[in-house]
Amino acid sequence: MSTRTRYHLAQFNTATLRFPLGDPRMADFVALLEPVNALADGTPGFVWRLVEEGEADATGMRPAGEDVIVNFSVWESAEALWDFVYRSAHLETMRRRREWFQRHVDAHLVLWWVPAGHIPSVGEALERLALLRAGGPSPRAFTFTSSYTAEEAASAGAEPAGAGPAAP
């Protein structure tokens, strides 16, 4: 089995709301949640996304602050995630993000490799984001522009604790 199929890419990002979700100025964003989530769910390479129990998405969860929503998913590869983010209808939503979210001073997106089949926890995601913010990109926490391959992460021992051997 290749390293590529043994690892999946986790992504976690935060967005600080300009207005509460119920505010009329957020109506377009709220209306896009279901179709964009459905698009992600149907995109080749999609594995999993965080959904609040009993809800269609995770917008009610606030693990990073009361005015911060999170998006958390796992993908088969960096290419699959990239294609969804930048080569699908999701891109139009991203183009409008300044209408709905404040600009971030700190890193707001973190990527890391997980063993295939491992569903990372929100706590793990917050730790990876904190690691990126504190030390910059590394095999344990990186971004699209400063990325590492699954092989590089495995070689660096960057796998989550207790998730199994790091060697390919």
CA angle centred on 43, ends 51 and 49, rounded to 5°: 15
Q: How large a percentage of the chain has pLDDT more than 90? A: 86
When mean pLDDT is compared across 27-31, 123-127, 141-145, 157-161, the lowest value belongs to 157-161
Residue 28 has a pLDDT of 97
What average pLDDT does the structure give for the chain?
Answer: 91
Cβ proximity of 64 and 107 under 8 Å: no
- Whether the per-residue pLDDT at 157 is higher than 80: the answer is no
When mean pLDDT is compared across 2-6, 30-34, 82-86, 128-132, the lowest value belongs to 2-6
DSSP assignment of 89-127 equals THHHHHHTHHHHBPPPSS--EEEEEEETT----HHHHHH
Quick: pLDDT tens for 138-153: 999 999 999 999 999 9
- The Cβ-side half-sphere exposure at 158, using a 13 Å CA radius, reads 25
pTM of the model: 0.89
The residue among 92, 17, 10, 32 whose CA lies nearest residue 62 is 17
- Whether the per-residue pLDDT at 159 is higher than 70: the answer is no
- Whether the per-residue pLDDT at 160 is higher than 90: the answer is no
Q: How large a percentage of the chain has pLDDT more than 70? A: 90
